[in-house]
Chain A
């Protein structure tokens, strides 16, 4: 065999072998990877809507997805709004738990973020940040309280604490939440999803 044929043969063989091998690995893991993401989101929804036992996606668009959370007996208890937007460093994706008529935020959790470790990344910290998001009144846009206060009771019903040293990350989360809630209200008014069924 001449050198150039050998080169072609060897390269094609390697390419084919690796390609087919990867196709197998890809197929085997594909479903599982999708499932992981679905599971992660479902768990997050159950975390932010109290009493929820199952959740299903009822509406989806660009940066917003609405998940309906139901109790054990199938009765709807609340909504999980999955929203994303830009943070201080990179995209933040979070899930907001609300009641069915979107007037009250029950809780909040962050799924993806790449904020500064030790500062902005505190938005995932229950004690430092997330607990101040429980039971917020969202009939109007929420506001940021700075400097933050220690006692959640000291906040007004539509206020949440900023994180000291990471106001921008806190503000980003707030913006994403406000935008998502406003959009969800609009969608609900348009009848894009019904909470009742």
Chain B
């Protein structure tokens, strides 16, 4: 596989290799915290922080770590950054930390992060690994935002707590509940597939 340009490395995370819609990674957190936009943003930032710094560090030490213990080492590195994110949120943004409950510590098992550490950061230099992590985070955050906006709007008539839809719109409470999350994500993934299929057909015919 020829090396991609740095821009391609960055952009692939948003669409062609989007961690959520394409690779189906990190679904737990996407479903769990997308019932309000603000939670989605906080979770997105926390994951971005952990992903970027773990990728950076893993890539830095990749030549020092023997192959047999690499997963264990990655896990410790990731867990450390997750703990930092968790403690900082709890100390300085207690409301957000409460709303996200146990999902911040669960970033440690978010497959996106271990997945990128194993598949990319451990094989590429620091610059590339960081850019890849930033791109992947962007893809994750965008999907989370999209979910959050739709669910908060339909379920609570608001976006970021501001009333958007009028009283005449009866809120779809189900959108805030787990079933709404599953169905919404299913639809988003299907739409992404649909666009991809159409694009492929166009490429073929041209």
Interface residue ranges of B165-206 to A (CB < 8 Å): 171, 173, 176-177
Contact with B along A9-52 (1 / 0, CB 8 A): 01100110010011001101100110011001000000000000
Q: Which of B44-52, B60-68, B111-119, B134-142 contacts A (4 or more CB under 8 A)?
A: B60-68
B73 contacts across to A, CB distance below 8 A: 10-11, 14
Select the residue from A10, A26, A40, A119 with max chain B CB neighbours within 10 A: A10
On whether the beta carbons of B79 and A18 are closer than 8 Å, the reply is yes
A6 contacts across to B, CB distance below 8 A: 66
Select the residue from A25, A28, A40 with max chain B CB neighbours within 10 A: A25
Give the Cβ gap from B196 to chain A, nearest Cβ, in Å: 33
On whether the beta carbons of B90 and A117 are closer than 8 Å, the reply is no
Inter-chain CA distance A33–B83, complex, in Å, is 14
On whether the beta carbons of A25 and B87 are closer than 8 Å, the reply is yes
Interface residue ranges of B75-93 to A (CB < 8 Å): 76-77, 79-80, 83-84, 87-88, 90-92
On whether the beta carbons of A21 and B176 are closer than 8 Å, the reply is no
Give the Cβ gap from A115 to chain B, nearest Cβ, in Å: 11
Inter-chain CA distance A74–B138, complex, in Å, is 53
Flag whether A127 is at the interface (Cβ < 8 A). Answer: no
With both beta carbons as reference points, the residue of chain A lying nearest to B90 in the complex is identified as A33
Select the residue from A3, A7, A21, A40 with max chain B CB neighbours within 10 A: A7
On whether the beta carbons of A14 and B90 are closer than 8 Å, the reply is no
Partner pick for B176 among A26, A37, A40, A118, CB 8 A cutoff: A118
A36 contacts across to B, CB distance below 8 A: 90-91, 94
Given the known A-B contacts A32-B91, A33-B90, are A118 and B77 also in contact in the complex, defined by CB atoms under 8 Å?
A: no
A32 contacts across to B, CB distance below 8 A: 91-92
Inter-chain CA distance A10–B171, complex, in Å, is 55
Interface size class of B (residues with CB under 8 A): 20 to 34
Give the Cβ gap from A39 to chain B, nearest Cβ, in Å: 9
Give the Cβ gap from B79 to chain A, nearest Cβ, in Å: 7
Partner pick for A29 among B65, B87, B98, CB 8 A cutoff: B87
Select the residue from A6, A15, A36, A37 with max chain B CB neighbours within 10 A: A36
On whether the beta carbons of A29 and B88 are closer than 8 Å, the reply is yes
SS of A interface (majority): helix
Given the known A-B contacts A14-B73, A32-B92, A36-B94, are A118 and B87 also in contact in the complex, defined by CB atoms under 8 Å?
A: no
Flag whether B55 is at the interface (Cβ < 8 A). Answer: no
Total count of chain A residues near the partner, CB < 8 A: 25
Flag whether A116 is at the interface (Cβ < 8 A). Answer: yes
On whether the beta carbons of B177 and A116 are closer than 8 Å, the reply is yes
B156 contacts across to A, CB distance below 8 A: 118
On whether the beta carbons of A10 and B90 are closer than 8 Å, the reply is no
Inter-chain CA distance A92–B77, complex, in Å, is 35
Give the Cβ gap from B117 to chain A, nearest Cβ, in Å: 13
A25 contacts across to B, CB distance below 8 A: 83-84, 87-88
B94 contacts across to A, CB distance below 8 A: 33, 36-37, 40
Inter-chain CA distance A160–B72, complex, in Å, is 55
Inter-chain CA distance A26–B87, complex, in Å, is 7
On whether the beta carbons of B90 and A29 are closer than 8 Å, the reply is yes
B176 contacts across to A, CB distance below 8 A: 117-118
Known: A117-B176, A118-B177. 7 other contacts (CB 8 A): A14-B77, A25-B87, A29-B88, A33-B87, A33-B90, A33-B91, A40-B94
* 6 examples of A-B residue contacts, CB within 8 angstroms: A18-B76, A22-B84, A33-B91, A114-B101, A117-B35, A117-B176
> Which residues of B line the A interface, CB within 8 A?
35, 64-66, 68-69, 72-73, 76-77, 79-80, 83-84, 87-88, 90-92, 94, 98, 101, 155-156, 171, 173, 176-177
Report, nearest first, the 5 A-B pairs whose CB atoms are least far apart.
A118-B173, A29-B91, A117-B176, A32-B91, A18-B80
